[in-house]
Chain A
Amino acid sequence: MDPLSPPPPIRRISLDAPPTVVAPAPPSNGHAPAAAARSATAGSARERMRVEAVTIAYGSKVAVNRVDLPIRQGEVLALIGPSGCGKTTLLRSLNRLTELTPTAARSGRIALDGQDVDVLEVTELRKRVSMVFQQPNPFPMSVFDNVAYALREGASKRPRRAQLAEPVELALRRAGLWDEVKGNLDHPALRLSGGQQQRLCIARALAAQPEVLLMDEPCSALDPVSTTRIEQLIGELRPQIAVVIVTHNLQQAQRVADHVAFMYLGELVEYGTSDQIFHAPQAQRTRDYVGGAFG
């Protein structure tokens, strides 16, 4: 099989997404496609976050090097690339989680709705840009307390349980977990199955009505059935939220993503629509990666 020919097309799960427009053949370096893609889909997706010339380093080791990306509501952006390419680091910088590591340093600008994220209070930022992790990490509390956690700790006056019941139910419905747990919201969260725990984490992240949802390989620890459910979920969430998903799984990226950014060794190699990247990649590296030459 010739590694240079595009891989056979993979059937996409049809979702209620606005149809993606294939952009005209993009130029070969990583920076311009953002503009081209944006002009192609202008009006159908509102830009929520913007990454501009961001470089992130841990000590002297550069993890991400001058990346530009737009993140739009109504779209799923997938960050793909081999291990160590910087995609998780980039994701974590979007909600300033990189600051939890003492040696991390960042330059460039990340904007949320035009406002520099460094200017915002970090707690404010993280309420608007939520994150779901690779390993489900529900707190050792009940299901209700987990979902209500952000709401309780975000407010200065502790809301009463009656006030929280509605937002909790809404979040659990959006995460597709309501029917399974509605009978017993005080069940300890740690006793749920892996897939349920991850959906609980998604519900927890959704409870504060974020504008952007960051997902770091959310399905890598789950079985195929749970994976499918969560991918469905992502499609359902897409119209109201901007979703950025880091994934190792190229098929998943094809199924789920509207735009794809391929990163390698900290650089953004190519950015384009899903069809573009998977069926007509411009850069040699992208072709190699997507074709399976390296992983």
Chain B
Amino acid sequence: MDPAAQTATLRGRVTSRWRAPERAELLLGALAVGLLAVLATLLASVFTQAWPSFSHNGLAWFGGGGNVNTQLANIYHSPADPKHYVYTLHAWPLLYATALSTGLAVLFGLPFALLAALFMVEFAPPGIARLMTPIVRLLAAVPSVVYGLIGILVIVPWVNDHLVDPGFKLDVKPVVPISGGSLLVAALILAVMIVPIMIAIIADALRAVPRSWIEGSAALGVNRWRTMWRVAVRTARPAIAAAVVLATARALGEAIMIAMVSGNYIFAPNPLDGANALLEPIQTFASTIVANAEGFTVKPFGQTLYAFAAVALVSAAMLSLAGWAARQPLRRYGIR
């Protein structure tokens, strides 16, 4: 122990002395700070590249009006002269479709995940309960391109053959091409992809409910279902909220699968079409980038793609951070 620290203790004062950092701390600290620098560069790069698209459109960037597909084509075919770059874009259909697909996925995924987590933790017979964990892990591990492949080769054709009404298809043909690739398939597969995340978090929280509460409820003559529902799920509410936030973040970041199954046409599904709105094609912010990645070399087009990236990044990353922060206090009580 260095003499100065020794003296401090001998004097009996409880002081927190600033110890000079040793070499290991400096080295590792530099690494950590380097990471900060990487993220800072990432953010700076994304926002500076995205800025022209936002500045040319102002708030109308988020508004509606016009066919985004043609707008993108126009941007791609901008003249070579920087002064005449075309940036016009009204991305409302993308915003709407992203919100809709994510919202539907979470809407269907959450109750399903909650019930499955309850099943896994309490109601499944021991043999089946043991099987559930690898099953959930398996679903989480499947790469998005494989989900996309199954979607585009199996589900999309099925939807096209069995769910799409040919009359409807013909009616809307001038406006939007219906081919089976749609909001429905995208939301469905997205739900399957985010359910494992939610199950894992919720099941952990259910297991962490103090046993004394479960026993206390049972000892009062309350049956197992009510005990789980009124005591365990209620206690796990913060974890359920965190699970929803993290699942939404994951859904917002999904690009490949959606690009493969969503019909590859930017469109805002029309609620006036009723149930058929689900069969209309969409693109989300992330999936549009993937679908249009080859055009990146054309400068204004690349900057527009960056604008999409900025929106996707901010929404997904901020939600991810929020979900992580929400779970921090829970860790103190052993609820992960």
Which A residues are within 8 Å of any B CB, using their own CB? 95, 97, 100, 102, 122-128, 130-131, 133, 135, 137, 139-141, 149-150, 153-154, 201, 204-205, 208
Contact = CB atoms under 8 A, between A and B. Distances in A.
B219 interface: yes
A146 to B, nearest CB: 10
A154 to B, nearest CB: 6
25 contacts: A95-B219, A97-B215, A97-B219, A100-B215, A100-B218, A122-B221, A127-B220, A127-B221, A128-B221, A130-B219, A131-B219, A133-B212, A135-B212, A137-B213, A139-B216, A139-B217, A149-B230, A153-B217, A153-B220, A153-B226, A154-B221, A154-B222, A201-B216, A205-B219, A208-B220
Given A95-B219, A125-B221, A153 B230 contact: yes
A133 B221 contact: no
Given A153-B226, A153-B230, A139 B219 contact: no
B6 interface: no
Nearest to A102: B126
Contact of A126 (B126, B219, B226, B234): B219
Contact of B220 (A102, A124, A126): A126
B110 to A, nearest CB: 22
A141 B221 CA distance: 18
A139 B218 contact: no
Interface in B187-238: 210, 212-213, 215-223, 226, 230-231, 234-235
For A95, A102, A137, A140, which residue has the most chain B Cβ atoms within 10 angstroms?
A137
Contacts of B219: 95, 97, 126, 130-131, 133, 205
Which of B126, B212, B215, B221 has most A Cβ within 10 Å?
Answer: B221
A208 B217 CA distance: 13
Contacts of A124: 221
Given A97-B218, A130-B219, A130-B220, 20 more contacts: A97-B219, A100-B218, A102-B126, A122-B221, A123-B221, A127-B221, A133-B215, A133-B216, A133-B219, A137-B213, A139-B213, A140-B235, A141-B234, A149-B217, A149-B222, A149-B230, A153-B226, A154-B221, A201-B216, A204-B220
Interface of B: 126, 210, 212-213, 215-223, 226, 230-231, 234-235
A137 B234 CA distance: 16
B127 to A, nearest CB: 13
Contacts of B235: 140
Contact of B221 (A126, A139, A140): A126
A150 B221 contact: yes
Contact of A149 (B212, B220, B223): B220
Contacts of A140: 213, 234-235
Contacts of B226: 153
B216 A137 contact: yes
B305 to A, nearest CB: 48
B30 to A, nearest CB: 45
A138 to B, nearest CB: 8
A17 B113 CA distance: 55
Which of B210, B215, B219, B235 has its CB near the most chain A CB atoms (within 10 A)? B219
* Nearest 9 A/B pairs, CB to CB: A126-B221, A127-B221, A137-B212, A131-B219, A150-B220, A153-B222, A137-B216, A153-B226, A123-B221
Contacts of A205: 219-220
A95 B218 CA distance: 10
B222 A150 contact: yes
A100 B212 CA distance: 12
Contacts of A150: 220-222
A123 B226 CA distance: 11
A130 B221 CA distance: 8
Contacts of B216: 133, 137, 139, 201
Contact of A208 (B126, B212, B221): B221
Nearest to B210: A137
